[in-house]
Structure 1
Amino acid sequence: MAVIVRAGAAPLWWPGLLAAAIGALVPGLTGRRIGLLAGAALFLITAAAVALVRGRRYTALAAAATRAGRSDFLQDRAVTVREWRRGHRWWLLGAFLAAVASAFLLPAAGGLVLAGAGAGLWIKAVRIGRAEHRDDVLYWVRTDWTERGRPAGKRVKGYRTTGPMAGDAAFGGAPRRS
């Protein structure tokens, strides 16, 4: 489950930083200094909002998690990440282009908002990883319950758990190190 959350962190973080760097080169209508200060404030607000949104839903689903059965289909980390990124590639491209275009109004702010969303997802995955480590389990979402890459959507009835050595993911959705 944390893999789905973490899958969006890098594709938002790195293009966000690139868009902010490109935006810092453009003077914009408000000037670079105001754009960077506004972007830094928006980065913090966005990261906090993304990290905290739907936190109660994640906690409730984790508290009601059941052991994964033989009939549950749980896919590997690499497949989950690839499918999430393929399904969201046009949204990611549009967000990057919008962040670069916003630099003509407020330099670097759009890119820092995008990077803040990636940082917020990473923080959320770390929090989920701490809960997994505390409970000594990995939380999974059945693939037939996820809707468009949402691990806490309306169709998700509950999480499944496995031992920490199952699959190819470590706590928090990170790749397992051998």
Structure 2
Amino acid sequence: MAREGAQGLARVAVVVRAGAAPMWWLGVFAAGIGVLVPGLTGRRIGVMAGAALFIIGAAVVAYGRRRRYAALAGSAVRAGKHDILQDRAVSVRTWRRGHRWWLLLAFLAALGSAFAVPAAGGMLLAGCGTGLRLKAAWLGRREQAGDALLWVRVDWLAAGGGRPAGKAVRGYRSTGIAAGDAAPGGARRRTAALV
């Protein structure tokens, strides 16, 4: 099979996981502030609605587009020896910089919704962050089962707005399980302590 030139590759699970922490913490912060506002519905109804939205948001994000991810993973081709594997920190920083305004708007929307339904918007945002973490964990289990890490071309990722399963992404590449500086699922790779 003819190979294209060397490409920069980012870990799929790392990109998926990149938004989890900021969405979780911004959601928790917005919910905490939102509880202080009585709102139109009252705090009790707001927190109960927020709990339901947390669960729904986590489930929708965690299970959304799994078929697309599975199809791309199933057709992944082996990365070339000249392909450049992007560090985990670079992938996370790039995703967060590209989405910082979206995250800010989501946070402000969650805060503003507290005047109607206290804490609900923040809990929804935190649920979406949890869903991203669950999706990254699912990808990690697939990577371990297949004994191969999944990577996406950086240029396709940029063209698709940072979505690793977007329309701009036409396929994944794979490497051995020890490649890169991130473990299956996108977490930091734990190194054994030197004795």
Give TM class, smaller chain: over 0.9
SS class of match (2:174):
strand
- Which residue in the other structure is 2:62 paired with? 51
- Which residue in the other structure is 2:154 paired with? 143
- Which residue in the other structure is 1:161 paired with? 174
- Which residue in the other structure is 1:12 paired with? 23
How many residue pairs match? The answer is 178
Counterpart mapping for 1:71-90 below 5 A: 71-90=82-101
**CA distance in structure 2 between the aligned counterparts of 1:15 and 1:172, rounded to whole angstroms:** 22
SS class of match (1:141):
strand
- Which residue in the other structure is 1:64 paired with? 75
**CA distance in structure 1 between the aligned counterparts of 2:39 and 2:56, rounded to whole angstroms:** 22
SS class of match (2:156):
coil
CA RMSD of aligned residues (A): 0.9
The alpha-carbon distance between structure 1 residues 72 and 144, as it changes in their structure 2 partners (threshold 3 A), is farther
| Deviation, structure 1 residue 73 | 3.5
| Deviation, structure 1 residue 142 | 1.1
Question: Please, what TM-score do these two structures have when normalized by structure 1?
Answer: 0.97
Which has the larger helix fraction?
A: 1
**120, 130, 136: which is aligned to 2:141?**
130
| Contact 1:74–1:142 under 8 Å retained in 2 | no
**CA distance in structure 2 between the aligned counterparts of 1:99 and 1:34, rounded to whole angstroms:** 16
Instruction: Tell me if 1:112 matches 2:120.
Output: no
Deviations for 1:74-132, whole angstroms, at most 9, x for unmatched residues? Answer: 31111000000001111111111110111010000000010010000000000000000
Which has the larger strand fraction?
A: 2
**CA distance in structure 2 between the aligned counterparts of 1:72 and 1:29, rounded to whole angstroms:** 55
Computing the radius of gyration from Cα coordinates, the structure with the larger value is 2
Identity %: 68
SS class of match (2:155):
coil
| Contact 1:73–1:143 under 8 Å retained in 2 | no
Query: What 5-or-longer segments of structure 2 have no aligned partner?
Result: 1-11
